Amino acid sequence: MTGVYDAPDEELGEYEPFPEERKKRGCLGKLLVVAALLLVLGLVGAGLAWTTYQRQVDPAGPPGEEVALTVPMGSSTQRIGALLAENDVITSADVFRYYIRLNGGGPFQAGEYALKKNMSMAEAIAVLEKGPQLKFEKLTVPEGLILRQIGEQVAKLEGRSAEAFMAAVESGEVRSKYQPDNVQTLEGLLLPETYNVEPKDDEAALLQRMVSSFDAVAEEVGIDDAQAKVGVTPYQAIIVASLIERETRFDDERAQVAQVIYNRLNKKMKLQVDATVIYALGRTGERNVRVLFKDLEVQSPYNTYQVAGLPPTPIAAPGRASLEAALNPTKGNLFYYVVTDPSGRHSFAETGAQHSANIRKAEAAGVR
């Protein structure tokens, strides 16, 4: 019999959706399953990442052997973290940096610290925050000093003396790579700089550091090319730099002073540099020394009013700016200069007549 069968509702059985609806429901189910799986994996991954982080922050086992660590002056927190990791005090410099960001800490002082390998981040930071067991002293060597004056600076350090420093200087055991074989003095071959001094650094060690630092800076500015650049040997260029250092304290005048010196050398003129006379008189340590006519009679190879050419050695410790000026003089026909201002500034001249006018200017200003 054909027709529609109207059975009661309870006899219809479970509702079957159309194929399209079944498909949509199946996709939604799959998405829910994938989302749940990703959530589980994310939680597991986060858990693993956190566990790894915690193991690096606080590694298993007790701290190991002691490590003596020196933190240099000016070290950033990132650099200190790298030093700790390099010495196996902590597990990771990157994690140390993040740990500091999260928990705070630093900045830390320069100096020597006693730490241990395999420390937790918190333990290492606690040691650093107490400060170094041994702190650096600072030794400042200004530009333009002679060896004796540098020794006086060294004597300001605890447990050091000028006598021991000069004994190291005179021993001949420390030499500069720019020191000719026939030159026995280190005058002008120590770098003016501020040095960090450890308790273990004796006078001989300090001398070696100053000479090595000078050699490095001289090479860096190109002193080895002096012959090609300005027609003198590297050592002679250092002598020129020392004259510049003692003649002016103004950076914008240094290359002009260099021009005058080289122009006079090339013309076979006596340099007539007052600073060399002051050095010959042994008065370099005095302030505001005025060279008198009677001083120009001093018999010395350093008296450039009497002796042609450069003095036999530098007359002071030149800084980087003077070394650079000695290699890069301004171009021109300057042959003279004189202080014409109470500030110490000079006026430069090409001719004797111009120079005489500048001297009258200096006299009017009361500086000559």
For residue range 284-322, list pLDDT tens digits in order.
988 889 899 999 999 999 999 999 999 999 999 999 999
Contact indicator for 290, 218 with CB cutoff of 8 Å: no
Give the model's confidence band at 13: pLDDT under 50 very low, under 70 low, under 90 confident, else very high: very low
- The chain-wide mean pLDDT, for the chain, equals 87
| DSSP H or E segment with residue 265 | helix 251-266
Contact indicator for 135, 111 with CB cutoff of 8 Å: yes
In the chain, where the domains are located: 66-129, 137-219, 231-364
Contact indicator for 257, 274 with CB cutoff of 8 Å: no
Give the model's confidence band at 47: pLDDT under 50 very low, under 70 low, under 90 confident, else very high: low
Span 243-296, pLDDT tens digits = 999 999 999 999 999 999 999 999 999 999 999 999 999 999 888 898 999 999
Span 170-221, pLDDT tens digits = 999 999 999 999 999 999 999 999 998 988 899 999 999 999 999 999 999 9
What sign for the dihedral angle of Cα 357, 362, 363, 368? negative
Compute the distance between CA of residue 236 and CA of residue 226 in angstroms, rounded to an integer.
9
Per the listing, tokens 């069968």 go with: 5
> DSSP labels for 98-141?
HHHHHH-------EEEEEETT--HHHHHHHHHT--SBPPEEEE-
Partner residues linked to 196 by β-bridges: 138
Contacts 24+ apart (CB under 8 A), 125-132: 125/99, 125/100, 128/71, 128/80, 129/105, 132/71
| Helix axes of 93-103 and 77-86: crossing angle, nearest 10 degrees | 140
Assess whether pLDDT exceeds 60 at residue 43.
no
Q: What percent of the chain shows pLDDT beyond 90?
A: 63
Instruction: Name residues whose C-beta falls within 8 Å of residue 351's C-beta, 6 or more positions apart in sequence.
Output: 335, 336
Cβ of 14: how many Cβ atoms within 10 Å?
4
Span 51-93, pLDDT tens digits = 666 777 778 777 888 888 888 877 888 899 999 999 999 888 8
Fold of 66-129: Dna Ligase; domain 1 (3.30.1490)
Per the listing, tokens 């074989």 go with: 181
- 3-state secondary structure at position 51: helix
| DSSP H or E segment with residue 195 | strand 194-197
Structure tokens belonging to residue 166: 């000069």
Give the model's confidence band at 230: pLDDT under 50 very low, under 70 low, under 90 confident, else very high: very high
